Amino acid sequence: MSPSSKRIAAVYDQVLARNPGEAEFHQAVKEVFDSLDRVLTKFPEYAEESILERICEPERQIIFRVPWTDDHGRVRINRGFRVQFNSALGPYKGGLRFDPSVMLGTVKFLGFEQIFKNALTGLPIGGGKGGSDFDPKGRSDGEIMRFCQSFMTEAYRHIGSSVDVPAGDIGVGAREIGYLFGQYKRIANRYEAGVITGKGTSWGGSLVHTEATGYGAVFFTEHMLQANGRGLDGARVLVSGSGNVAFYAIEKIHALGGLVIGASDSSGAVHDPQGIDLDLLREVKQVQRARISEYAQQRDSAEFIGGRSVWSVAEKHRVDVAMPCATQNELDDDDAKLLLKAGVSAVVEGANMPTTPAAIDRLRDAGTLFGPGKAANAGGVATSALEMQQNSIRDSWSFEYTEARLAEIMENIHARCAGTAEDYGVPRDYVAGANIAGFTQVADAMIAQGVI
């Protein structure tokens, strides 16, 4: 074992000891650390300056009580989180997630990933994340408003357009962002539009924000395939999920000539060999708010596969590209085996860390192109940063101009990942390229700013 490998292993052991029970955070750290042996060998100053130790310790972790009253007058209590992980490149930037699964380890894993994802955009934003174990499902607008107001009553003192800029994530959409911003404005007594992103387009929001993560992941996929002599035109694609990321990924894949033959939700998956009908999917998931089985009932060409993931479609059908766009660790080693047998040539993450380490190893060992989430799904935060720019100059950009900016950012992210992998002797390894490019940019800024 090389000296740099020993140093990395020792620091990782410290991370395990200092953060017990936070499996997702451990996984995120290990995934980055596995790419850094070459970096520390080439640049020993990163070890000398204890960058590994410092980058794994959030600058600030905030946990607070969120009391609110339901429609029956009963007082409810939830827990709120904001992890301000690293501000070397700019104000903390990252979404808020409202879901019963949220705990400190979840927020730390997401915030750690956000450091490198934000660095890859080339925009001046640091990494952070937040949320609550509140479940918005089944709650009335009044209950959600009262919860959001209570959450912001504490959170407002920790955020600001030059300090920390939250956005939406799972469970936090336009409605929640509106309530959060309204309470911030009320308490702070100022219209600081850049304090939160994902706002309505009529009051400071950016066009393309809703589409950005899905579109961006597809732009990245197209560049990755083209760089390796292929493209999405004619490709048969599986996309997990049926929320915003999945929906707009499907839309852009179809626009580029690909055919999405499967999508899913938590109840199961649908296989549609004629291609997912976006109008019907929108009606079922966004208007009726029904299970995806309803899609199959209303479309003769579709088949519902209950209780299984969309990757099960690969048991019987050829698949060229897979895009996990739902949640973390949804594509495991068994799924990777199925996809490889089905002929998959690329797997690109639209969600945050949706592929297990064992599945990633199997795909990479087989020579399959793999686009990690910190690169491929950076379109959402990139467009949030574009919203911040518009707020700063009191301007509003057209859809076409904003989408062109997004496309340019995703092309640059691909070029950075591919170029860095080539420079470090691991061509086509987008995981290593993304990790090294993001890490070195943040590490250089940390060294320049001193021991803080």
> Which residues fall in the annotated binding site for NAD(+)?
213, 244
Other C-beta atoms within 10 Å of 267: how many? Answer: 14
Encoded tokens for 133: 């174990």
C-alpha–C-alpha distance, residues 31 and 24, integer Å = 11
Q: Is 346 helix (H, G, I), strand (E, B) or coil?
A: strand
Numbered residues of the known binding site for substrate: 93, 114, 117, 168, 384
Task: List, as residue ranges, the binding site.
Answer: 93, 114, 117, 168, 213, 244, 384
DSSP string, 123-175: SS-EEEEEEES---TT--HHHHHHHHHHHHHHHGGG-BTTTEEEE-BTTB-HH
**Cα 48 to Cα 46: distance, rounded to the nearest angstrom:** 6
- Please answer whether residues 364 and 431 qualify as being in contact, where contact means their C-beta atoms are separated by less than 8 angstroms: yes
Given 30, 42, 108, 129, the catalytic residue: 129
Clarify whether 129 is annotated catalytic. yes
Which amino acid, one-letter code, is at 215? Answer: Y
Residues paired with 64 in a beta bridge? 80
- For the sheet with 60-69, list strands across it: 60-69, 75-86, 126-132, 92-98, 164-167
CA 93, CA 120: separation in Å to the nearest integer? Answer: 13
Give the residue numbers annotated as catalytic, written as ranges: 129
